[in-house]
Structure 1
Amino acid sequence: MVAYSAAKDEHPPFSGTGEMGNLIRRFDWSKTPLGPISDWPQSLRTVTGMLLLSPVPIVVLWGADGIMIYNDAYSVFAGERHPQLLGSKVREGWEEVADFNDNVMKICMAGGVLSYENQKHTLIRHGMPEPVWMNLDYSPVLDESGDPAGVIAVVVETTKSVLGQRRLRESEGRFRALTNAMSDVVYSMSADWKEMRQLDGRGFLANTETPRIAWQEIYLFPEDREYIQSVIDEAIRTKSVFQLEHRVRRADGTVGWTSSRAVPIFDERGRIVEWFGAASDITQRRQNEEHLKLVVHELNHRVKNNLAMIQAIAMQTFRKNTDLKDAQVRFSARMVALGQANDLLTGERWAGASLRGAVEQAIRPHCPEKGRCVIEGDDVTLSAKTALALTLAMHEMATNALKYGAWSNSAGRVSVSWSAYLKDGAKRLRIEWREEGGPRVQPPDQRGFGSALIERGLAREVGGEAKMEFLPNGFVCTIDASDSIYASH
């Protein structure tokens, strides 16, 4: 039990107020090595008065035994040990850390000082051992002779701060693990977006380890910055989420696309202090979308061309042909050829078609037997327009060969060959259709659809000319094409 003096001190030796000031004045110090307050040296009175006025937890450990005198703030730290700690020996009052306090007393009573930051101790609290962290500063208190007579200790418990920082680090660690598991770019921006504080580019964008002011020059293209900035300004003005798909300069310097989303972080007053965001690499998706747009545009164009071609075929087939049944057969055959040409192009996604494939598809079905159709030449890829026109032209010539030319008897044959050559430094392609061994050829009295398709339509599509010769020993068609016939990649 704590003993208190029954007598009142009419002249208090120090002016400390509060609970501890009253307790210290009333305490029976005569039962301690310090003796009555009236016998205390001035140095002890002074340091006691000082600690009572301090809002910081302070305890004085006086004499070799470290008799404890402390203030109100320290009594809160002492918890259930208060008020029994007052006037007790420090090694006994804090028995579980007696060795630590013994070292403190030895060093400071020898004139040394000690300082600890977030020093961990295990103290008995609520009857159970409990880890506690403290900032501790120990200094000697000199008596009138200038020798250390005690130790003054400033004790600030930092347990909440240490545990809070630990939880924050753990949370940051979990968050970092989460972001590392993501494939998205992660970034943070200042409140006004003028400074990029950090960016983890995931190999898609260049990393930013230190804050950058000129981030727009690094990641954005000049022609895109004004619009992107306008979206940023609106998000800042409305304190809302920033969200935009836009172009970026990738880590390798090439053009990429990203879907970026950033949320504002607010302080307790509702002011934006930072933005945190994530950005996905959508480059492939955008490229696919652009390709799809081109395909749709090309498809629309091709459909219109096919419709126009069907109309022209119909007009040429039915206009002068009085035999309706024959006209229907011809029209049907030409539609089949057009459909096969489209099938060939569809297989190549309308990016172009093989010259050999176009020729074979057009004429093989008409060839009477193997050996009477010869196709020669190094394969090349034609543009879609050229392949379509060439297939139809080859179909017309194959049909005529079967009806009137080299394939109308049992001995004639057709050879199709092509070769590239240079003219005035420009690359050109010569395609030749040659018939041999068929009936004697007579030039037709009038030109039909096939002749018009070859001489005018095909010549226009190949950017050159198509020449038809009705020689006595066989029909010959020579097509001279510019390099515009080749598919572009």
Structure 2
Amino acid sequence: MSPETSMLAALQVPVYTTDCDGNITFFNEAAAAFWGHRPEVGSSRWCGSWRLFNPDGTPLAHEECPMAVTLREGRSVVGVEAVAERPDGTRAPFLPHPSLVRNSSGEVTGAINLLVDLSDREGLDLQQERLAAIVSSSDDIIISKTLSGIITSWNAGATRILGFTADEMIGQSITRIIPSDLLHEEETIIAQMRRGKRIEHFDTERLARDGRRVNLSLTVSPLRDRAGRIVGASKVARDIIERKQGDELQRLLFDELNHRVKNMLATIQAIAAQSLRRATSPQEFGLSFTGRIQALGRAHDLLVRGHMKGTDLISLLQEQVVLGSTEETRISLSGPMVKLEARVAVQLALVLHELATNARKYGALSVEGGTLAIDWSISSAEEPELCICWTEGGAPEPAPGATAGFGTMLIQRTMEASGGTAIIGYRQDGLFCEIRLKLGDAKYDTPAEAALFRFNERIEARAPRTHLDPASRNAV
């Protein structure tokens, strides 16, 4: 074997030679593996492939293959692809590189053909198509740019989030979407890219078409050419506005929780101190203190169900007064929709608990035939005000010498802390209480559009809604 033939045999790519008539004179092992068989040297012509096809799938005769054309026409055939079929039926696309072989006198003595297997290219093309589809359909921003900051690709996700189209942005500087006060970030990013370093989860802002600053999390990777040189950068940016909003909401919730816990502990401490001071026995203290804490607990259950944004007055009344019973026929509720903010709801819960406890122990709900009517309305004044009227009927006479207790003081101080008032008095057949609260930012139906909620509407007894003398004797 000549040195030249030994060199060809050692090559890892398919290569073979023919004489002037196209008879195969040599092929290496890579060529045999590519063809899937070993053609007969000296009798097989033009090409060792079992069968040949054009790229479009039409048959290609061996005498029309690039090697045959080169020998017949005395010229090299460049860039003409073909498909080889092996004996087992598998096919492989390839790019032949046939060249004439001449002796020292310049006479053609044969030809040599090097075959480039394009099977991997098809797989690469398929992979590139899949990657292109992923980039195109991604909800995230995916763009690429040169090291000088010129945008070279712009996907649909970038258009959706920032509003600019690919036609508008490709060829433009990346600084077009960077706020002026953040331009220094681009210098840092490019410096990192030149050093071949990847940047991950870098939170920043970019400008949308309408001028908005969009919160994004960037991942930036260097782009290399075939020689391994860094020629640009690819950026994947995820819209993190929802995460930012979630973080802010979490911070606000923690602050609010801290504030509420402190307030709640102060309230509990005050209730415990006053309950203990007024109690005549440990048992009385236990019952009164436990009841008030349970009232706070029920109010907080309502607030939690409303994500701590407040609760409606109807739910508060049903929890604190009706106590969730659907069979309580002696209590009636009537009034428009009112959504109370959390702080006011907790304070009003304590007031309603004190009134309801008194009604069940000493007032109208402590005797058969006693009734309780709770009506509320909203004033149409410049600063809307909620008025709640608590009217008991058929209640027993208060004990001689009864005076205001801790419940009365708790109600009045609680309402004062909420910026409201509570007037408590006793009429001929029961206790009456008028509570007034400034609504502020609370949600409510205006007087003109209010649709009344009614619970046990058949109870008709109502006391006239007039102010009471704060000095009236009471049993609370």
TM-score by length of 2: 0.63
When residues 279 and 332 of structure 1 are mapped into structure 2, their CA distance, relative to the original with a 3 A threshold, is same
Correspondence for 1:431: 388
Deviations along 1:92-130, one digit per CA (max 9) or x if unpaired, are 99992499979x98xxxxxxxx9997345799xxxxx99
Matched, 1:417 2:384: no
**In the aligned structure 2, how far is the partner of 1:80 from the partner of 1:119?**
19
Correspondence for 1:266: 224
What root-mean-square deviation, in Å, do the aligned CA atoms of Structure 1 and Structure 2 show?
4.7
**In the aligned structure 2, how far is the partner of 1:190 from the partner of 1:159?**
35
Deviations along 1:375-420, one digit per CA (max 9) or x if unpaired, are 1112222111111111111000111222332223333322111122
When residues 222 and 161 of structure 1 are mapped into structure 2, their CA distance, relative to the original with a 3 A threshold, is farther
Identity of aligned residues (%): 27
Query: What SS class does the counterpart of residue 294 from structure 1 fall into?
Result: helix
Correspondence for 2:266: 308
Q: CA deviation at 1:374?
A: 1.0
Q: Is the contact between residue 195 and residue 212 of structure 1 (CA under 8 Å) also seen in structure 2?
A: yes
Matched, 1:245 2:199: no
Correspondence for 1:148: none
Q: CA deviation at 1:355?
A: 0.8
When residues 272 and 365 of structure 1 are mapped into structure 2, their CA distance, relative to the original with a 3 A threshold, is same
Q: 2:338 aligns with which of 377, 380, 404?
A: 380
Query: What SS class does the counterpart of residue 329 from structure 2 fall into?
Result: coil
**In the aligned structure 2, how far is the partner of 1:211 from the partner of 1:428?**
60
The amino acid across from 2:63 in the alignment is E
The amino acid across from 2:153 in the alignment is R
Deviations along 1:402-450, one digit per CA (max 9) or x if unpaired, are 23322233333221111222212x3332222222332346898764432
Q: Is the contact between residue 231 and residue 242 of structure 1 (CA under 8 Å) also seen in structure 2?
A: no
Correspondence for 2:172: 213
Q: Is the contact between residue 441 and residue 472 of structure 1 (CA under 8 Å) also seen in structure 2?
A: no
Deviations along 1:251-297, one digit per CA (max 9) or x if unpaired, are 89877644331210235776521112333444444444433333333
Correspondence for 1:320: 278
Q: CA deviation at 1:313?
A: 0.2
After the TM superposition, which residues 144-163 of structure 1 pair with which residues of structure 2 at under 5 Å, given as runs?
A: none
**In the aligned structure 1, how far is the partner of 2:428 from the partner of 2:261?**
40
Q: Is the contact between residue 406 and residue 437 of structure 1 (CA under 8 Å) also seen in structure 2?
A: yes
Q: Is the contact between residue 192 and residue 236 of structure 1 (CA under 8 Å) also seen in structure 2?
A: no
Correspondence for 1:232: 189
Q: CA deviation at 1:470?
A: 3.8
Q: CA deviation at 1:485?
A: 5.8
Deviations along 1:157-200, one digit per CA (max 9) or x if unpaired, are 99769999767644422322444575543221222445363233
Q: Is the contact between residue 389 and residue 457 of structure 1 (CA under 8 Å) also seen in structure 2?
A: yes
The amino acid across from 2:424 in the alignment is M
Correspondence for 2:147: 191
Q: Is the contact between residue 429 and residue 482 of structure 1 (CA under 8 Å) also seen in structure 2?
A: yes
When residues 171 and 326 of structure 1 are mapped into structure 2, their CA distance, relative to the original with a 3 A threshold, is closer
Structure with the higher helix share, 1 or 2? 1
Q: Is the contact between residue 266 and residue 272 of structure 1 (CA under 8 Å) also seen in structure 2?
A: yes
Query: What SS class does the counterpart of residue 280 from structure 2 fall into?
Result: coil
**In the aligned structure 2, how far is the partner of 1:176 from the partner of 1:229?**
26
Matched, 1:347 2:305: yes
After the TM superposition, which residues 78-477 of structure 1 pair with which residues of structure 2 at under 5 Å, given as runs?
A: 80-81=17-18, 96-97=63-64, 118-120=79-81, 132=95, 169-179=125-135, 183-193=139-149, 195=151, 197-201=153-157, 203-206=160-163, 207-209=165-167, 210-213=169-172, 215-218=174-177, 225-226=182-183, 228-229=185-186, 232=189, 235-236=192-193, 238-243=195-200, 244-247=202-205, 257-267=215-225, 271-365=229-323, 370-424=328-382, 426-440=383-397, 447-461=404-418, 463-477=419-433
Query: Which has more radius of gyration?
Result: 1
**In the aligned structure 2, how far is the partner of 1:191 from the partner of 1:290?**
36
Q: CA deviation at 1:298?
A: 2.3
**In the aligned structure 2, how far is the partner of 1:120 from the partner of 1:239?**
38
TM-score by length of 1: 0.61
Higher relative contact order (CA 8 A, sep 6+): 2
When residues 237 and 81 of structure 1 are mapped into structure 2, their CA distance, relative to the original with a 3 A threshold, is closer
**In the aligned structure 2, how far is the partner of 1:282 from the partner of 1:444?**
67
| Structure 1: stretches of 5+ with no match in the other structure | 1-77, 86-91, 106-113, 124-128, 137-156
**In the aligned structure 1, how far is the partner of 2:407 from the partner of 2:355?**
7
